[in-house]
Amino acid sequence: MSVKSTAARRTTRGGAKRRGGEPELVQLLTPEGDRVEHSEYSIDVTPDELRGLYRDMVLTRRFDAEAITLQRQGELGLWASLLGQEAAQIGSGRATRPDDYIFPTYREHGVAWTRDVDPLNLLGMFRGVNNGGWDPNENNFHLYTIVIGSQTLHATGYAMGVAKDGADAAVIAYFGDGASSQGDVAESFTFAAVYNAPVVFFCQNNQWAISEPTEKQSRVPIYQRAAGYGFPGVRVDGNDVLAVLAVTRAALEHARSGQGPMLVEAFTYRMGAHTTTDDPTRYRSDEEREEWASKDPIARLRAHLDKQGLADEGFYAGLDAESDALAKRVRDGVRGMPNPDPMAMFENVYADGHALVDEERAQFAEYLASFEDAPAASHGAAGSGKGH
């Protein structure tokens, strides 16, 4: 079985082709849940490991859904959902070793889960009450990066330092298909190649850079860009958690063994909106989304577990209860957080202050005060400060 999208259905230049003209990709588990072999990538996983991967994806999806609801209720200012990308994140995250270092963007909630970062820390950032909330060096998981593509530079520099230290570790940098057009990413590829840095560039190609399809971002499949910089690239079925695990594990070992950088393109799909400020119905079709829904990463692994008799109803019932408990903890934790201070955004902009910032601070303070003077019936959420 192959994975196709609007972008993949169009003719591409170069690279091995599968039937139908789309580029080759690594797949070990079909959408129907059947195991298949690949000549270069293979993996042996125990029943416990398979159930663990399934648990990771289910709990990550539940936490993500709860975050969307909390944002809609005014408890978060924004949320970037990972819906549909669970296999890409859990598979790659579980491929890392504790001494590997991870540089995420702002959507790697599943990777954060694999590094034991408390989901409430992620939510606190999107609520505006912390700047990340975790110590990156405790989990070797860097703080989220909102600036598009810049984390690839940080990862490359860190990997160059790892190489100079002679450490037996690798670095992995996450970015999206849209970020692949950023100059920071191109510079990262150049420096990583020249200095033979032990870094894996992990691109989650979810087909849409907000409203721009991948075909408007690149004239060739993204993984093929690596060849121009002198290091290997591979495309993996990003909805196949086993293939992602196998490919990322191999890429990290490639980097650790002194062979330099590698680019992994996880070919997946963003089932939800870019963020909670986005309306994807304005630029993509229901038919396209339905096509990708049939390749759902969680349903795929469940089908495999059921076909192989590796999970029973007791396992699923226990996981449902665990999901409910996680959702409750997330809800209660967020609602127990303080309201963000709306005036805090004016602090630490300039070390010595600035006349324009002072003027804007005064204007915003006057605006907030206008709610306090308004009739009680009109206060609503604005008066509470939640969601601002």
Burial class (CB in 10 A: 0-12, 13-18, 19+), 78: middle
pLDDT value for 384? 42
**Annotated active-site residue in 142, 235, 256, 270:** 270
- Are residues 346 and 331 located together in one domain of the fold? no
- Are residues 302 and 211 located together in one domain of the fold? yes
**Given a cut of 90, is residue 357 above it in pLDDT?**
yes
pLDDT value for 131? 85
**Annotated active-site residue in 283, 335, 367, 379:** 283
**Given a cut of 70, is residue 343 above it in pLDDT?**
yes
CA dist 315 and 310 (Å) reads 10
* Distance, first Cα to last Cα, the chain: 46
- 373 or 326: which carries more pLDDT confidence? 326
Average pLDDT over residues 78-94: 97
Phi, psi of 205 (to 5 degrees): -85, 95
Average pLDDT, the chain: 90
pLDDT class for 15, splitting at 50, 70, 90? very low
Average pLDDT over residues 24-49: 95
Last residue of one domain, picked from the residues 298, 318, 335: 335
CA angle 22, 267, 3 (to 5 degrees): 50
pLDDT class for 21, splitting at 50, 70, 90? low
**Annotated active-site residue in 254, 274, 300, 304:** 274
Is residue 274 part of the annotated active site? The answer reads yes
pLDDT tens digits along 95-129 = 999 999 999 999 999 999 999 999 999 999 999 99
* Number of independent structural domains in the chain: 2
pLDDT tens digits along 283-321 = 999 999 999 999 999 999 999 999 999 999 999 999 999
Full residue range of the structural domain in which residue 103 is found = 3-335
- Are residues 122 and 72 located together in one domain of the fold? yes
**116-137 burial code (b ≥16 CB/10 A, e <16):** ebbbbbbbbbbbbbbebebeee
For residue 83, the domain's CATH number is 3.40.50.970
Is there a contact between 231 and 193 (Cβ–Cβ < 8 Å)?
A: yes
- Are residues 16 and 33 located together in one domain of the fold? yes
Q: Which two tokens stand for residue 45?
A: 């996983």
User: What pTM, to 2 d.p., does this model score?
Assistant: 0.88
Is residue 144 part of the annotated active site? The answer reads no
Last residue of one domain, picked from the residues 298, 316, 335: 335
Is residue 225 part of the annotated active site? The answer reads no
**Given a cut of 50, is residue 262 above it in pLDDT?**
yes
CA dist 336 and 339 (Å) reads 9
